[in-house]
Amino acid sequence: MKKWPLLLWLLAKRLYKKPAFLALLLLIPLLAIGYRLSLTDTGGLVTVGLVQEAPDPLGEQIIQELTGEDSLIRYEVFPSAEAAKQQLSAGKIHAVWVFPDNLQEKIEKYAADPVRENACFTVWERTDNVALSLTREKLGSKVYPQIAQTVYLQYLRTYVPELAHLSDDALLEYYHNTAFSAELFTFGEAERTPEQENFLLSPLRGILGVLITLCGVAAAMYYLQDRQKGTFTWCRHQLLPELSCLLVAVVQLGIVALVCLMACRLSPNLLLELATLALYSLCVTAFSILIGRLFPSIKALAVALPVLAVVMLVVCPVFFDLGKLRIVQYLLPPTYYINAVYQPVYLGYMALYTALCGILCILIDKMKDSLR
């Protein structure tokens, strides 16, 4: 045990002598920073084609407002509905909103009788989904101030005859003089950098988390290869070299992951990040030792590896969150790593998970011993 630091250093030195390992350590931050720099604009979750059928000041104003907004919905203006629908059919855009030529007139008709026949816009989509449904809410809300104003005027004209002598402009003055702002919400989370808000950059933390876990499992295979060669026969307790082999690899990749996250400004708090990384290194090591116990040969681990990689990418909330697989998520270390920085309660869960993996390893070892 006294020579454990020496063993760790020797194992690390063994890896540094491998040019491919050094190349890997350099490649990870280079790829991450290169990717970060290539995202010159944020892209969009949904692309909507906007079409103004014929000149109309209100429609053109709304189109101008939409295209000028900083939004996850990307807008492209098309000269005709046919051109936009062609792009829609080809899957290049997700929806087409056609603005009529007499929008104000249509709004007045709709405000008086909000039935489908009086619809103001035509929306074309290929198939419906939740993101497109949220996008359509945007269209409705953009025109709602005009509808609310028209409903107000129509109500006054119909139900308040006492004010019939006032002009529309005079009545609208009362409407505009109320001090209501559409900025109704404040956000309860900590301040986030634009990089953390960027949906194309935020999966990086998850990818690095999966990469570290996979490195742990690959290190377990490497250890099995060493054991076959008899590299550690001099050691009385086999757990020590196993733990050291895995920890050395995982910690080095963890440090590189930290550099990536800092360089891409995806880390909210360095101290919390360091604590998460330290615990995650232990967690991945314990998990990899457990996987090594469950798949005790290189061949078995090699078969399990791609399945494990894909399961982690799909089930853990790296790219999307499959809510129905929540229980499976908790079986995999990246779930804790992805959540811990933003919800520190996951640090506790991670510690518990690490302890459970350790206990399971000891139980499996004891079972194997008793079977012998």
Partner 1 sequence: MAILLLLGGFLAILHFTLDQDAAKEENQKISVAICGETNDAFLQMGLATVQNLGNTRYSLALQTMTERQAQKALASGQIAAFVVIPEGFMDAAMAGQLLPLKMVSTVGASGLVSFFKEEITRVIGAYLAGSEKGVFGLENAISQNGYPVSDRLDSLAFQYLDHIAVRDRIYDLRQLGIADSLGLQEYLCCGLSVLFLMLVCLTFGPLHIGKDPALGQLLRAKGYRGQTLCDFAAYLLILLPLSLVFLPIFGLQSSASLQFYAVFQVLPVVLMAAAYSFLLFQLSDNLMTGIVMQFLLTVGMCFVCGCIYPISFFPAGVQKMADLLPAGLARMQLAGCFTGESTLAAALGSVGYSALFLGCSIWVRSRKTREVRL
Q: Which of residues 93-122 bind partner 1 (CB under 8 A)?
A: 93-94, 97, 110-111, 114-116, 118-122
Tokens of 225: 């290869």
Residue (112 or 356) nearer to partner 1, CB: 112
Give SS3 for 372. coil
Residue (5 or 145) nearer to partner 1, CB: 145
Establish if 68 lies at the interface with partner 1 (CB under 8 A): no
Establish if 18 lies at the interface with partner 1 (CB under 8 A): yes
- The 10 Å CB-count burial string (b at 16+, else e) for 297-325 is ebeebeebbeebeebbbebbbbeeeeeee
For the bound state, the minimum distance from the C-beta of residue 136 to partner 1, rounded and expressed in Å, comes to 7
Q: Which of residues 215-244 bind partner 1 (CB under 8 A)?
A: 215, 218-219, 221-222, 225
Residue (229 or 372) nearer to partner 1, CB: 229
Among 321, 355, 362, 366, binds partner 1 (CB under 8 A): 321
**297: Cβ contacts below 8 Å, ≥ 6 apart:** 224
Residue (152 or 232) nearer to partner 1, CB: 152
For the bound state, the minimum distance from the C-beta of residue 45 to partner 1, rounded and expressed in Å, comes to 6
Q: Which amino acid is at 134?
A: L
Instruction: Output the CA torsion sign for 304, 306, 312, 314.
Output: negative
CB atoms within 10 A of CB 5: 10
Q: Which of residues 159-178 bind partner 1 (CB under 8 A)?
A: 159-160, 162-163, 166, 171, 174-178
CA–CA distances in Å: residue 330 to residues 36, 315, 324, 338:
29, 10, 12, 12
For the bound state, the minimum distance from the C-beta of residue 165 to partner 1, rounded and expressed in Å, comes to 9
First-last CA distance in the chain: 27
For the bound state, the minimum distance from the C-beta of residue 368 to partner 1, rounded and expressed in Å, comes to 21
**Span of 213-221, 235-243, 278-286, 357-365 interacting with partner 1 by CB under 8 A:** 213-221
Task: Please name the helix (run of DSSP H) or strand (run of DSSP E) that holds residue 346, with its range, or none.
Answer: helix 345-371
Establish if 338 lies at the interface with partner 1 (CB under 8 A): yes
For the bound state, the minimum distance from the C-beta of residue 324 to partner 1, rounded and expressed in Å, comes to 5
Residue (126 or 368) nearer to partner 1, CB: 126
Determine the Cα–Cα distance for residues 156 and 132; give it in Å rounded to an integer: 36
Residue (90 or 271) nearer to partner 1, CB: 90
336 Cα distance to chain centroid: 15
**222: Cβ contacts below 8 Å, ≥ 6 apart:** 245, 249
Establish if 31 lies at the interface with partner 1 (CB under 8 A): yes
CA–CA distances in Å: residue 282 to residues 189, 337, 353, 360, 361:
29, 12, 10, 15, 14
Establish if 293 lies at the interface with partner 1 (CB under 8 A): no
Establish if 137 lies at the interface with partner 1 (CB under 8 A): yes
Establish if 128 lies at the interface with partner 1 (CB under 8 A): yes
Q: Which of residues 242-271 bind partner 1 (CB under 8 A)?
A: 249, 253
